[in-house]
Structure 1
Amino acid sequence: MAKVLILYYSSYGHIETMAEAVARGVREAGASADVKRVPELAPDEVVRKSGYKVDQAAPIAAVADLVDYDAIIIGTPTRFGNMASQMKNFLDQTGGLWLGDRLVGKVGGVFTSTGSQHGGQETTLQSTQTVLLHLGMIIVGLPYSFKGQMRMDQITGGSPYGASTLADDGEGGDRQPSENELAGARFQGRHIAEIAMALVAGRPAERK
């Protein structure tokens, strides 16, 4: 059985919700899914005043955990068209894994959240994929076989680079992931897990 890690950072719970949907898709494919999050970097006072969601059930990941998985799916909100600093800080600590080729050949994917429809979803997905490529990972996005990303009857996240959601309702209020966006996250999780399982099955026994 392929092992898949869903590694995320979430300030207000949107990416946390998407991560659980990705995990459901992974399990639907018959792979195992672990959901973990990266450490918070913001000071406690900022976290409290900003109303960050602190009651997240996922355990904190360690960089060394990454080698234990056949696929790693990254979830991060957008910060000015790039990944959140909490996720970047965590990935910046993988130099030793990079040096030892420990992540080469693993499947990688990314999903994200932005405050607005044009808030940098695709640049965040692609810039995060760049890091995974440097680590030697095989990038898998959200193919157009998920037809929900082409819907025109509603505002929705989703692109061929990965699943996404919009976190603002357009009036400064909170917007939770829609059913279509969650369906995209499940699809991406299932798709990545299926590819990871195929790769695991095809490896020589000594490499499994």
Structure 2
Amino acid sequence: MAKVLVLYYSTYGHIEKMAEAVADGARDAGATVDIRRVPELVPEETARKANFKLDQPAPVAQVDDLPNYDAIIIGTGTRYGRMSSQMANFLDQTGPLWARGALNGKVGGAFASTATQHGGQETTLFSIITNLIHLGMIPVGLPYSFQGQSRLDEVTGGTPYGATTIAASDGSRQPSGTELAGARFQGKHIAEIATRLFG
């Protein structure tokens, strides 16, 4: 049975919902799953004024816990076409893990959100995937066997590089059924691969 970590940063709750769907999919594959979030860097007063979602129940992740997992699936909102500074800060602390190859051969994945359809979903995913590769991990995306990402009858996120959602510039749009299904599919797919590799 694979052990999977869903590691995320969510300002307004969109990625939190996607993380829960990713975790559900991994559990459907029989994996043991933990959901953890990275620390908030914005001062609390500023975050409250900006209506950040500060009541997220997921425990805060610790860098030293990452080697305990067979697969790590990372999600974050987009900042100018790249991952959020909160997630980047957390990953920047993995140097000691990189130096000793602690994550070599583990399975990884990425999911993201943007304000608009063309707001940098794929570049954000690649900014995560680049970290996974440098850490020696095996990145796994969202294959086209998830047919929801090919639909043209609705506005939807989803790329072959990972599940995505569109939040709208004011955060008013919540993840759609198709987007959550893509997140579940990716979580299950990664957990199944991790189980094949690690039993």
Sort the TM-score into its range (normalised by shorter chain).
Answer: over 0.9
Structure 1 stretches of 5 or more lacking a match? 202-208
| CA distances 1:129-159 after superposition (whole Å, capped 9, x unpaired) | 0011000000000000000000000000000
What does residue 67 of structure 2 align with? 67
| CA distances 1:66-96 after superposition (whole Å, capped 9, x unpaired) | 0100000001000000000000000000000
Structure 2 stretches of 5 or more lacking a match? none
Q: State the distance in 1 between where 2:96 and 2:171 align.
A: 42
- Size of the aligned set, in residue pairs, is 199
Where 1:194 maps in the other structure, the secondary structure is helix
Report deviation, 1:127: 1.5
Which residue identity does 2:3 align to in structure 1?
Answer: K
What does residue 108 of structure 1 align with? 108
Superposed, which structure 2 residues align to 1:53-202 within 5 Å? Answer: 53-168=53-168, 172=170, 174-201=172-199
Q: State the distance in 2 between where 1:147 and 1:12 align.
A: 28
RMSD across aligned positions (CA): 0.8
Where 1:36 maps in the other structure, the secondary structure is strand
What is the aligned-residue identity percentage?
Answer: 68
Q: TM-score under structure 1 normalisation?
A: 0.94
Report deviation, 1:46: 1.2
Which residue identity does 2:65 align to in structure 1?
Answer: D
Report deviation, 1:173: 5.5
Report deviation, 1:35: 0.2
Report deviation, 1:19: 0.2
Report deviation, 1:119: 0.3
Where 2:157 maps in the other structure, the secondary structure is coil
Where 1:8 maps in the other structure, the secondary structure is strand
Q: TM-score under structure 2 normalisation?
A: 0.99
Which residue identity does 1:197 align to in structure 2?
Answer: T
Where 1:154 maps in the other structure, the secondary structure is coil
Q: State the distance in 2 between where 1:47 and 1:65 align.
A: 27
Which residue identity does 2:182 align to in structure 1?
Answer: G
Greater Rg over alpha carbons, structure: 1
Compared with structure 1, are the counterparts of its residues 49 and 163 closer, same or farther at alpha carbon in structure 2 (3 Å cutoff)?
Answer: same
What does residue 13 of structure 1 align with? 13
**2:12–2:171: 8 Å Cα contact kept in structure 1?**
no
Where 2:77 maps in the other structure, the secondary structure is strand
**2:36–2:61: 8 Å Cα contact kept in structure 1?**
yes
Which residue identity does 1:192 align to in structure 2?
Answer: I
Q: State the distance in 2 between where 1:46 and 1:197 align.
A: 42
